[in-house]
Structure 1
Amino acid sequence: MRNLWNNSYSQSQELNPTFNGTKSGGNSREVTSLISASPRKEIVFIDSTVEDYQSLVAGVKPATEVIILDPLQNGVVQITQVLANRTDISSVHIVSHGSEGNLQLGSTLLNSDNLEAYTSFWEQWTGALTADADILLYGCDVAAGQVGKAFVQQLSQLTGAVFAASTNRTGSEAKGGDWELEFTTGNIKADLAFGQLVREAYGAVLPINRVSVASDSTQGNGFSEYASISGDGRYVAFQSTASSLVSGDTNNTSDIFVYDRETNTTSRVSVASDGTQGNDYSYDPFISADGRYVAFESQASTLVSGDTSGSVDIFVYDRETNTTSRVSVASGGTYKGGNSYDPSLSGDGRYVAFFSNASSLVSGDTNGQSDIFVHDRETNTTSRVSIASDGTQGNNYCYEPIISADGRYVAFASFATNLVSGDTNTTSDVFVHDRETNTTRRISVANDGTQGNNSSRSPSISADGRYVAFYSSASNLVSGDTNGQSDIFVYDQQTNTTSRLSVASDGTQGNNYSLNPSISADGRYVAFNSLASNLVSGDTNGQRDIFIHDRQTGTTSRLSLSNDSTQGNTHSDSPSLSADGRYVAFHSDASTLVSGDTNGQKDIFVAANNSAPVLDNTGNPTLTTINQGDASNTGTLVSALIASGANGDPITDSDAGAVEGIAVTAVNNTNGTWQYSIDDGNTWNNFVVSATNATVLTDTASDRIRFVPGAKYSGTVTNGITFRAWDATDGLVSGTTGVNASISISDGATPFSFAAETASITVNPPPTLRIIGTNVIEGDSNTPNAVFTVRLSAASTQSVTVNYATVSGSATAGSDYTATSGQLTFAPGETTATISVPILNDSLSEALESFSVNLSNPTNATIATPTGTAMLTDFLVTSVSTTLSPGIENLSLEGDSAISGIGNNSGNLMIGNAANNFLRGKVGNDTLIGGAGNDTLVGNYNNDTLFGGTGNDLLKGGKGADIFVFASPSEGADTIADFNVAEDTIHVFSDNFGSDLVTGAAITTQQFWLGASAADSSDRFIYNQSTGGLFFDVDGKGGAAQIQVAQLSTGLAMTNNDLFVL
């Protein structure tokens, strides 16, 4: 796509009523009236950092001017420069990123703090606009909250225009956005810049990270903490003391809320089934995978009827039926008090795990300790799971339960020493109870089963229960644990192995403590918070941050960063990882993670885990080979370059919807110049890159890379380009330069692979040209051309030309051939061309003649063989008996008379006519072909070939190793007068003698038989030593009769090797 920065792009096509239509209820007559009316002058500014901005450019209403803003330049200045050359603009549309009270314009973040600094610019805007102009701001949350509304009002006052802006997410409905600009400063006359189909098809939104807000994006006026996120990341449950998140929140205590990230709405769920709010605190929510159920603990007595104990209970709110139920009860619903805490739900919300000090939930609870229970909401039964495999109850405190998605396994922490044998460390351990087998095992152990030498707690379990993450202060769970800090571990219940995850991507252990792991459903990702500063580079805030470790790639990334990678200015804690591993919810006191965070409170944030793509750099990627001096080569598609890497598919990315690309971080320009194109080679740009100034390119049909070699360079450019894999869904546009793709950007949700790869290209020296001569038989009719073949030593990426011209030798132009000259052209990729020179028959019996074709003046090649020679051999055609004169090699008898042909001392080719001919060679290696009659062929001396053809011919090879040819068993029985088994051979054609004969070899021993007839079905040729007859039998000892093909001398010691198949 061409660069539109600071260039206008005008769409002047007719208004298409089927595309834009009119407002709801409109018709074609209304559209016609719009066309006939004076058109409104509108202009759209689009920031090129907006995801998939190209589809928006393509979908702007007809006759609307489009300007693409350079993200590296001040956007206010860019817009002012454009408007300075415009007048009577009735509508300005600005599409960019935004947040509450903020609008990103190019490199400038515009807000109330810097609006006045641009007063002179606003005045220039006013001069370009009509008196009633509209300005529409398409950016997420720009007008959200009081800060956002005040910002938009101030813009309206400074420019004199009527403004419209969004109070929520703008863009894709599937991602929780919409195209409504809910807040206006007056009457907006302009329609949206994009038609409905374009709006529906657009698949992006501007990101929002804070979710502890009201449905209108008002920030909370109290602290929010302890988030729990649904399986797909859509819903986030959290607790908050804020009273501003929903209307009617007057209880002045902590409540449980759910934020829907698709609809951007917040609801309170710590309420009774009739909506009555709780009269005491609610805490510690846990949301089911589908987001329907929310479990929480609460001391409120108003959530269900009959709650008179004053204890902390576990409740489940059904968001579909809007009903609340208490589940910290005994089987059947009996309730007798006791405090219950820390609920956890199975994936479908059926099972609720919690811990409680109540002794009345199950019978036999006499240990006086808090225990782990599971309540089945379907059967209304409660069971205790913090027991040994033999049912013995724990002898100490049990807490922090987490249940697997299928409800089978419950992990928990406990100080009990009698749940498993050998528990002698007198500290907290992590256990897993299997509700199907009723067994309990300790998993906070080393690979060899050694128990931890310090406390372990806070388990998180994968969906199938195989993997359990936890944190531990023990130093003996893995080797090399010398940091003296609590770390994050994962135990694999299938392989019985423990691994430490709170490490940097290179394996360096954390230099401070790590806590609170949360594991994905498949066990691949583990999120946690840590005070360590060495897990990623650039961690200088001295605060607890949220990290995620990818167990598949071994990489660790920091997620508690703002969209521009600003670190949090205070602690972030308690991550909750979505089941698919794509999103992490957490709470933080930081005010730097999103713009407009001015409440001074702890908030809930959601960060995307865009896992770095993985690049297998064990291959040898190469670009298409080019030739020396090829400055206009078409290069190599990025897709082809990627495919030339390891195993043909070197890039993998676990993120759904990831788009492959590369970030070029270095080029080797020693012997030429590296360039890239994003418009399929129409325009090229030089790479000017480094690790912190990369150029990104996508795996599409338009992105290419090429090397322009120095004029005289040939060879292989190793390490020609260096690149990392790039996930092109990060919002960057292909062709963008200035991207920091260094290894240090592993901080956060990096779109770049940690591994780098290099690619090479071979520049061939100019290919060489050689011309190949030919032999031509000159006859008196159907005279052929002399065809010279010209070959290139290798295919070229350029067109190659060469001039040619005939040069006489003993053959004379005008009598033996037609003088010819011209130019040959080899298109790129071609390696062969031909030159045809017409041959003239002078009907004279002449000796061997020759002429040549010379090559000259090549382009993009050199000449290795400049001359090719054509040898003209006379072919004498006659109807009378003839003896060939010396120097004439070939004779053909014509007519229907029985005539003879006698050769000379050369190697002759003599062909008879349809009558009975006599053909005789002399001392050369002659070929005699009889024709249709009963001919006599005599080879005489040397190695001759005799082919009698049809009829009963007499063949005599004479001296030498002669060949007797038989084309078909039905051509007649020829007599070979002097067949010598020591020298001569009989050749037969497989086409007519049977497909079971193997061409290019002698017949097999099974196919030859000495006798009067075939002995078995394999026999094909039978030689009768008594009579000298040679027979062919198509089916051996079958029903078909054998046919005599030749008469030989008797008593020959013939074998299968005397018959050869053609």
Structure 2
Amino acid sequence: MTSLPSTLLLIDSKVHHYESLIRNLRPGTDVVVLDSAQDGINQITQTLQHYTALTSLHVLSHGAAGAVHLGNAPVTSEVLERNQDQLASWSNALTETASILLYGCEVAAGEQGAGFIQKLAQLTGANVAASTNLTGCAALGGDWVLEASTGPIETTSIFDSAALEDYPFVLADLVLEEDFKDDTVEGAWITGTLQGDQTNPFLYPYLTARDGSNDFPPGSIPNTVKGAPGGAIDRVGEGAFRLTGRSGADQTSSLNKNQSTFLIYNIALPANAGLDVTFNFFAYGSDTSQNSQLQGADGISFFLIDGSASPTTSGSFGGSLGYAPRLNLPNDPSNPSDPGDGLVGGYLGIGFDAFGNFASPNDFAGQETVRNGGPGRRPDSVTLRGPGSQRDGYEYITHTSLSQLGPDLSIDNASAQTRDAALRTARIRLLPNGRLTVTIDFNGRENPGQEFEVINIPNIAERLGQSIPTTFKFGFAGATGSFTNIHEINTLEIRQAARPPIAQDVAVTVSATTAIALTGNNALSAIDPDGEPIVNFIIKTLPSQGQLFLGDPSAGGSPITSLPPGGRVLTPALAAQLFYQPPNSGFTGARFEYTATDEEGATDPTNGIVAFVLPNNNPPVAQPSTIQAQERQTVQVTGIAATDPDVGDAIAFFTIVSLPNPNQGVLLIEEAGITRLVLQGERLTPTELSRLFFRARPGFTGASFNYTATDGRGAFSAAATVTVVAEGSDDSGCKPGRTIIGTPNADNLVGTPDIDTIRGLGGNDTIRGGNCGDLILGDAGNDTLFGEGGRDRIFGGVGNDVIRGGDGNDVLRGGIGNDQIFGDAGDDNIRGGQGDDVIQGGTGNDLIQGFEDADRLFGGDGNDTLLGGDGNDTLEGNAGNDLLDGSVGNDVLRGGDGNDILRGGIGNDRIFGDAGDDDIRGGQGDDIIQGGAGNDLIQGFEDADSLFGGDGNDTLLGGDGNDTLEGNGGNDLLDGAASNDVLRGGDGNDVLRGGIGNDQIFGDDGDDDIRGGRGNDVIQGGAGDDLIQGLEDADRLFGGSGNDRLFGGTGDDILNGGAGRDELTGGAGADRFDFTGASRTALVSGSSVNAPDRVTDFNAQQGDRFNVRIQNVPVLIRGLFNAGLVVGNTLTEAAIAAYADKNQVNPGAQALRVDEAVFFRWQGGTYLSVNGNTAAFDASDDLVINVTGITFRGNDANAGALTVSNYFVTS
């Protein structure tokens, strides 16, 4: 019999990349992943019913002081208290000496955190350990030490030390995370550029990993996030958001001058909790110089604007960094987007300034004023400018030059050609009390050790002379002037700098007319998530019936009859002296609102309520609701409603008591045209519900949130749930079903017809869902999981699992092990995880990701996306227009039918486009690519690739490395790019480009256009009338059969026209014009009197020579002469005349002898003939070349006898 495990690890599914942490766990550890859409404590209670002797319970989740985030809501001390019966049952699964270890940021921090772990220990009977600081990545300030505990902890870490060391995150809650590395972003972002630049796509900012070819419609260009107008520059997952860039699609195009752009997160954030922003920025690749030194400019700004503002154009260019104005430009008051104006709604601009003019009132010393204030140009500095509107304000505040902090520190790396060499990480922290700090890490977050604080202002509101707006938006801008850089950002993380306290609702029962002390359970109180002490309570409203007093009314207490603007501020000591005096008669209920402020200045924006209620006041009953949404869609929230059993009592407001999982979506509310985030604890009147919306994030599969209803007398309902179902999931009409949990042994579990949660736990389980969208968790063991109908979410867990999605748009995750996954019908989202997985998408447009190890991915019908990940993967798209990306490893990719996009990634890949017009890239490694049928685009990129075009008009681009390109059938374009390449055009009229390197190029059949490029190239035209150009360096050009044109270019070239009537141009350098054959007849057939080749620019003075050979043996030229101008009706007659009198200087007829050569002029042209085996001219035996345009050596044009070695190769 298998023994039960002694250790259980519970993971909140919102923990980023938790899969990497559960590799090589300590033996005897079970793993359970909590569903983010359900109550966390309920899930844990149900799970623990199947265990009896756990020595340790480990919990991996995001955390805060006094809270862990489990399932669909945070768990605080108050939540523990409300669920004390469930928590007490946990002890049945634990041994007497068991420990609970909480891995989450700052869970045990401060009094709040200490109280939380003590409460958990008290209710469960276990010793509890948790962290007082950040938990996770050391580079982000975290560690894996649990510094606080309630008693002895007798267990060691269950995690592999290498996995902990490699984990790149901390377990703290985020407000927003966007890395800008992919080809999409969440839809709240808007972009723009300078007024006047709005019709040029190359002046807009864009995602470098997105193909923006169709993002710029003619005319007005929308303010949505776009891709690179000339096609994606980076692979998905490796990009950035480019603020300023190139003037054209070619990545060698010059950089834009005088460019200005912005990117804004267009949802207003509350200012009460401050802001903690971290992002990477890059300034590099300058193509401008000053005093023979590269000079990059200008810089990037991060800004805060009023939450009510929605700019459509950026601030001005150059040193204004897209935030401030340029006062010297003509001012047009009728134009709200004047190109000289500053950014609309500006409150604070923080400039990361390479050139230094954000700190200067002018562009150059002594010139006119263009900005408001400043000490002058300060290169490589961080500078602040204040609030402004159009031309007014934006005043200089302060700056710090990096030279003050240490040597060799700079904002940009102007000479760098890749962003990695220019990585900087900025952190901007604005506390609610106004303290502003700015730091820059010059090594990046992954490599700490060179982080400097550059700005520290105790109260930015006082410094600016203007209070922080109630809500604000944030964004980035980039600008260039006469000097340039590429400016980019990525890896943005935003947290609350100091989370506000939560003022608690209090219900006070009024059963008499005597005064009631607001102490004990009736007292004002607040929970601070950061563990900060509460310094003030603020009374915001007064009760409509009765009276508040400071002090006992019967003992001379003072009535509170009015409130100053902003409310009555009470210290906690004064708040403890509050009393409520009910009216003598007619009391029906009353309430007042209050809020709380912590030591860092954070204030609860939602207010708490003290409700005075009658003993017989029944609470309302809130109704559950279900709505539908698609990913990236914003939908109105409907169905929030409640009934009140008391006659004549109405619902006063609804309270949002928990928020949706932020990985799935956010709640938004619109106020006066401004969209902002809904806060936890926020109250909405029934009329305000029409402005409540849910925005689904990419990959949305479902979410939920809870609300309560409060009546006019202050009684509030139990929480009801609003469920957001993924539209198209076939779950409409489905009801919440059961939670079914197996045992640690092998189970056979079957769900109900409704929406079930089914968990296998340990053992080799068989789980079958039903026709609604079920959550199926295999957990440990080799499980067989069936989703059946509906939009299912299936997680295999640890073990070699078989997963079938069935009908519906399913989310399938293999987890750890060698899994077999079948998407079946529907648009499925499938990930294999760790192990050698086999995945088949089935019908529908599927997203299939192998992730780690050697996976086999099959797309099936539909337009599928297959991503291989690490390992030597096999990807087959089959039918449809598919995207295949092998990523890392030696992969095999087959596109199948359809117009496919194939990306090999890193490794030695084999890629087959098969049928259709395919777009294929090899990437890094020695790749073999075959396009197959269709007009294919094939790019090898790095290393030594072999590219084969197949049938169709193909484009083959070699890239770096010694590549082999073969066009085969069709009219193809081949470009070797860099290194020593071999190009073969094949059949068809091909265009071949060798690029940089010593290339071998073969045109083969067809009329080809061939260029060698830089390097010593060997080019053979083959059959057809070819155009062959060597261009740079010493090339060897062979025309082949057909009437060819050969151009040597620069360098000492060898040109051989071959058969046909050819034209040869040597260009610069000492060129050699070869005329060869296997026999005399073959030699003459290449350039005869009836079809002579033309050498257009023979220059004896620069070293050009003729090379005449038979069977590679030089033909002996015994003498060379110049017959001068001859007459004749035909070229043959002219040659005969030259042979009869070879020397234009000596008198008398001097006949040309065997093996001699003669130049002659006839009808405006100049010709050379080499005599063969008979003295008389013989059209079949004598070589004739048109050399019109020849430059003779010295005075040879007028001479009669010439030196052979000055014109011919003699050995």
Q: Is the pair's TM-score, using the shorter chain for normalization, greater than 0.5? A: no
TM-score, structure 2 normalization? 0.27
When Rg is computed on C-alpha atoms for both structures, the one with the higher figure is 1
Q: Normalization by structure 1: what TM-score?
A: 0.30
